[in-house]
Amino acid sequence: MHILFVTSEIYPLIKTGGLADVSGSLPLALRKLGADVRVLIPGYPSVLEKLQHTKVLAEFPSPAGNTAPARLLSAVMPDTALPLLVLDCPVLYNRSGGPYLAPTGRDWPDNAQRFGFLNQIGALLAGSATPLSWRPDVVHCNDWQSALIPALLHYSHAAHARSVVSVHNLAFQGNFDAQWIPRLGLPAASYQMHGVEFYGHFSFLKAGLYYADKITTVSRTYAAEIQTPEFGCGMEGLLQERHADLAGIVNGIDDDWNPARDSHLQKTYDYRTLGNKAANKLALQQELGLEPDADAPLLGLVSRLTHQKGIDLVLDCVHDLLQDGAQLAVLGTGETQFEHSLNQLVRRHPGRVSATIGYDEGLAHRVIAGSDIFLMPSRFEPCGLSQMYAMAYGTPPVVRRTGGLADTVTDCNAAALRDGSATGFVFEQAGATELLGTIRRALSVYRTPETWNALQSSGMQRDFSWQHAAEQYLAAYRSAMA
């Protein structure tokens, strides 16, 4: 089976969140199962810098006026040899700033064109007019940034691949002015409710959900949630109509996230040598300027600092937790108000709270390994990877029962403790009181070392590997082709 996997981020070349982790791992897991997967990605500066021996496969006129032509490059991922197709178009992608946001923190004003062009090339490679000799059976699109491809294929006259769209986060929809429709090669007739129109906008994600042969999302619970008004972000009606073509496939985690051979750590460990985890806690306390106290329960949080992630809930109960003797270590970037409140908290409680505002892959590993308890009180969470990293590192997570958090964390209730299935702490309502109560429940188990150890090792022995998910994606591709 030939699969063109289109994505706007891929670890370790460019990452803003979990989509990059998925794009870096899933194609490899699919290749292990025999699929010929190639990944199409924009040529951001960090992508081009990290790739060696690129080869020009094709050239296209620039999509933005009188500027240098765009080129399609072939390359392989360093270390894993995953085949990549890189769309090098300097006028669109060669900028200092994020893949989606300018340094001001605002969306790049020409995102419709930046990702529209990625979709046009994706659709070209998926059809009989492709300049390559390799032709995919299925094009796998991820989030709004590549969700226009199924619409472009629908309106193209060439024979073409089938399409699967994966929703990693329905809240990001890629909604733009309708003036972009002809500029991106779609007919005016596509701008209607049964098409790419979404409440008066031209929507990339709606296009994908409407025209894709199959839709997947990254957990079973989120697949059900997005068919309701509470989580559907206005797309629930369409998703209900398409429910027979919608599957929830829980993400796996990469082998790199393994405390037994993680080079970012002070001391490696597994469930049999959990004692070594203490050295990582001490090293983390030192690194972050926290009081080096082995007994103070250390709460860790690594996240985008946004409303989705329930950061405000943590801020609302942190004073009570500090009174209970806990410490807090936060690593993240995001909304200014949260960054600001966290910095203020550090000034008020030096040695007890640490907040690193920024993106730091190594520190993310050390926070997850060095903390005792991991906080992830998301209001919604399509899948979530960090809670799985935390369980794999013997750092039981406190999570809200939503999306992938509900599907991957087993609450430490009496029954689950008895049968050994408990891996963390789960609460229902997105409120600070509920969160505080649940963290306190976790703290009381933490103070019973034998039970705590059992909880840690049960999370560490869970199978979070990608193989199971990859098998389900192959099934989704097959059904798209049927």
Catalog residues that contact ligand ADP under the rule CB under 6 A: 17-18, 21, 302-304, 331-333, 359-361, 364, 383-386
Q: Report the relative pairing of strands 298-305 and 246-248 from DSSP bridges.
A: unpaired
Q: Which of 27, 259, 382, 424 binds ligand GLC (CB under 6 A)?
A: 382
Shortest gap between Cβ of 339 and ligand GLC (angstroms)? Answer: 19
Decide if 322 contacts 349 (C-beta within 8 A): yes
The nearer residue to ligand ADP, 74 or 402, going by C-beta atoms, is: 402
Give the Å distances, CA to CA, from 178 to 42, 62, 124, 146, 322: 24, 22, 22, 18, 51
| Helices 432-446, 311-323: inter-axial angle, 10-degree rounding | 50
The nearer residue to ligand ADP, 361 or 428, going by C-beta atoms, is: 361
| Helices 336-348, 311-323: inter-axial angle, 10-degree rounding | 10
Shortest gap between Cβ of 87 and ligand ADP (angstroms)? Answer: 23
Nearest to 363 by CA among 324, 332, 321: 332
Q: Which of 225, 381, 407, 411 binds ligand GLC (CB under 6 A)?
A: 381
Q: Which of the choices ligand GLC, ligand ADP, none does residue 218 contact, using the CB cut-off of 5 to 8 A by kind?
A: ligand GLC
> Which distant-in-sequence residues (6+ apart) come within 8 Å of 94 by Cβ?
43, 44, 45
With binding defined as CB under 6 A, does residue 254 bind ligand GLC? no
Shortest gap between Cβ of 12 and ligand ADP (angstroms)? Answer: 11
**Segment interacting with ligand GLC, rule: CB under 6 A, options 11-19, 197-205, 288-296, 314-322:** 11-19
Shortest gap between Cβ of 383 and ligand ADP (angstroms)? Answer: 6
Nearest to 169 by CA among 301, 17, 42, 27: 17
List beta partners, residue 160. Answer: 127
Instruction: Mark out the alpha helices in 379-462 (DSSP H runs).
Output: 386-392, 403-408, 414-419, 432-446, 449-460
The nearer residue to ligand ADP, 127 or 310, going by C-beta atoms, is: 310
What track of x and - describes contact with ligand GLC for positions 413 through 452 (by CB under 6 A)?
----------------------------------------
**Segment interacting with ligand GLC, rule: CB under 6 A, options 95-103, 314-322, 380-388, 449-457:** 380-388
Which residues inside 82-141 make contact with ligand GLC, applying CB under 6 A? none
Decide if 9 contacts 15 (C-beta within 8 A): yes
Name the closest residue to ligand GLC (Cβ).
18
Helix or strand or coil: residue 202? strand
Shortest gap between Cβ of 142 and ligand GLC (angstroms)? Answer: 8
Cβ-based neighbour number of residue 423 at 10 Å = 26
Residues that bind ligand GLC (CB under 6 A): 17-19, 22, 168-169, 218, 251, 381-385, 404
